[in-house]
Each structure stands twice: as C-alpha cells, then as structure tokens.
C-alpha cells in the first residue's frame, strides 16, 4: 500500500492541464451552452490526446448541470484532432428527470465536423444495495514511470531519462499524471505475457476539494494505460503498432481523489479485426472501487515504408 505523502506542489504540466479543463463559456442557455477550451501543453506530439477532450467535454457538461457529479460518460472519438487549435464544445441537455440529467456534448476544431461525441449522465444520490469486487493485493508505487519508459523506448541509444539529458525533452514528455506500474506495463517490450496489468496513478501535485475537477482529471488519465494489456499476448512493441482510441466509457461509483494514489487494475479480454478492448477498475489505496472504464481501440501493425 502507498505511504502517506508530503505536501506536493503542482507541477507546471498539471497547472496547464487544470487550466485546459476550465471551459470558457461563449454562450449559456437553458439546458445547454457553448464553450471554448485552451490546450494543455502538447506531450511531444502534434496529435490531440484523446483524454484531454474527454476531460474537457465532461467539464462543460458539469457547468451546464450546475457542478453536479457525473455517474457515467460514453464517448466516441470521431476524427483526429490537432494539439494546437482551440476546442469548441457544445453541450445540450437531452433528458432531465427528478433523478437523472443527461447531456450530449460535441467537440469541434475550427468549425469542422465533430472530433468527439459524448453522452454524460448525472444521477441524484440514492440509497440502495452496496457491493464490489475486492482489490488485488499489490506492491507500492515504485519503479520507472510511464513517460520514462516511453523516452527510453524512443531513444534506446541516447537519452536516459533516469540520468538527466536535455531538459526541454524531459519537459515535453512530463505528464501531469504520475503512473507507476506494478511489475511493468510492458507496452514497449516484445515479451509475451497474459493480457493484464496493474498501475498506480495520481496527479503531480495537490488539488483543491473539487470533486468535479477530480472526475475530469481521471477522465483525462484513463486514456493513458487502459489499452496496455492488449499488447501483452503479442510479441510486438507499441512503437510497431498504430493505435487510436475509438470509443471510451467511464462509470463513477463514488467520489474520488486523484491527488492520492489510486490503483488501476487493467485487462484486455479480446483483440480481433484490428480492434481491441481494454477494461479498468480504479481503487483507492484502502480498497474502495471508485470508477470503472472500458475502451475500444484500433490496433494494427505499422505500414512498412
């Protein structure tokens, strides 16, 4: 289990992400609104990171509902976005009852066709039966981080992220979320193993007591490692594959605190037809199951030039 941590200042990458998850209202109307979002710092690439749009779309829906917490979201990534153009969000209420409120959110860039469609649902808390699958017994967060593994795989004969190197290179790959695998994610290895993985995650710095923000930050973080187990049964590295998120769903079971260590239990039950499924269960260090998610992703070999 993780040990109690000291006070941690927010890194610049986390500050940039929080700013990106604050949609600026362009128009607010009864049951909807139009918003624009800035970008978090691109993570060494021009392609738009899908998790950022997930978090921004959820944040826009939260504004329309007056800051309520979502119980689920279902999103389709429709087109590839770029990591530099502002994102325009349109949120519209499509159902509202005493217990539930459901919104559709569309994300666009430069007045183009939508790049993401999301349906987010909000539920008034009620009493009911309670049960959950117990958390696995695992070791503490330690070892190489996700971005250290990525840098090592991309520069096998040069830059060593554990021993310094070009400071600008390190900043461009610094994630606002710290991800520490249990036994290694293995996505940059060709070793064959079962389609399962475990990792601890938390944001790099303390957050205000804002449960809605914590939800948006998990929506962002959930897009990083969820497909990792899909590569485990195959003797290939992630760098040899084309992989894109196709759709993504999250269910929030309880409020979560993403500035504390959370355990993400991952598996991939199937890959077929150049598509694969990744599933994740998110636990607190005390063993409370706070969220579940599923993603379908494209997984095809890189074309040989």
| Per-residue 3-state assignment (H helix, E strand, C coil) for the chain | CCCCCCCCCCCHHHHHHHHHCCCEEEEEECCEEEEEECCCCCCCCCECCHHHHHHHHHHHHHHHCCCCCEEEEEEEECCCCECCCCEEEEEEEEEECCCEEEEEEEEECCCCCCCEEEEEEEECCCCCCCCCCCCCCCCCCCCCEHHHHHHHHHCCCCCCCCCCCCHHHHHHHCCCEEEEECCCCCCCCCCCCCCEEEEEEEECCCCCCCHHHHHHHHHHHHHHHCCHHHHCCCCCCHHHEEEEEEEEEEEECCCCCCCCCEEEEEECCCEECCEEEEEEEEEECCCCEEEEEEEEEEEEECCCC
* Catalytic site includes residue 245: yes
**Is there a catalytic annotation at residue 222?**
no
What stretch of H or E contains 151? helix 146-154
Catalytic residue among 149, 181, 223, 268: 223
Q: Is 223 a catalytic residue?
A: yes
Assigned token pair, 18: 């929080």
- Exactly one of 181, 222, 245, 268 is catalytic; name it: 245
Just list the catalytic residues.
223, 245, 295
């Amino acid at each position: 289990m993780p040990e109690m941590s000291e006070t941690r200042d927010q890194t610049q990458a986390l500050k940039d992400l929080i700013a990106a998850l604050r949609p600026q209202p362009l128009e607010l109307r009864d049951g909807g609104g139009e918003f624009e979002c800035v970008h978090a710092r691109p993570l060494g690439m021009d392609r738009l990171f899908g998790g950022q749009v997930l978090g921004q779309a959820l944040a826009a829906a939260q504004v329309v509902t007056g800051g309520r917490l979502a119980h689920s979201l279902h999103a389709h990534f429709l087109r590839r976005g770029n990591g530099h153009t502002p994102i325009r969000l349109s949120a519209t209420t499509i159902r509202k009852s005493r217990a539930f409120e459901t919104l559709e959110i569309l994300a666009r860039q430069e007045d183009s066709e939508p790049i993401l469609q999301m349906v987010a649902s909000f539920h008034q808390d009620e009493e009911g039966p309670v049960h959950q699958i117990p958390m696995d017994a695992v070791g503490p967060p330690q070892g190489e981080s996700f971005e250290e593994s990525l840098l090592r795989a991309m520069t096998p004969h040069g830059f060593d992220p554990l021993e310094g190197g070009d400071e600008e290179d390190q900043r461009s790959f610094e994630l606002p979320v710290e991800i520490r695998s249990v036994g290694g994610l293995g996505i940059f290895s060709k070793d064959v193993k079962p389609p399962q993985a475990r990792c601890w995650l938390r944001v790099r710095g303390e957050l205000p007591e804002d449960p809605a923000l914590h939800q948006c930050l998990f929506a962002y973080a959930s897009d990083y490692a969820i497909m990792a187990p899909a590569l485990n049964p195959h003797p290939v590295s992630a760098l040899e594959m084309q992989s894109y998120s196709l759709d993504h769903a999250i269910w929030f079971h309880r409020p979560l605190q993403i500035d504390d260590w959370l355990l993400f239990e991952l598996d991939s039950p199937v890959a077929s037809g150049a598509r694969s499924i990744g599933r994740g269960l998110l636990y607190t260090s005390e063993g409370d199951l706070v969220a579940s998610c599923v993603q379908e992703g494209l997984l095809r070999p890189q074309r040989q030039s």
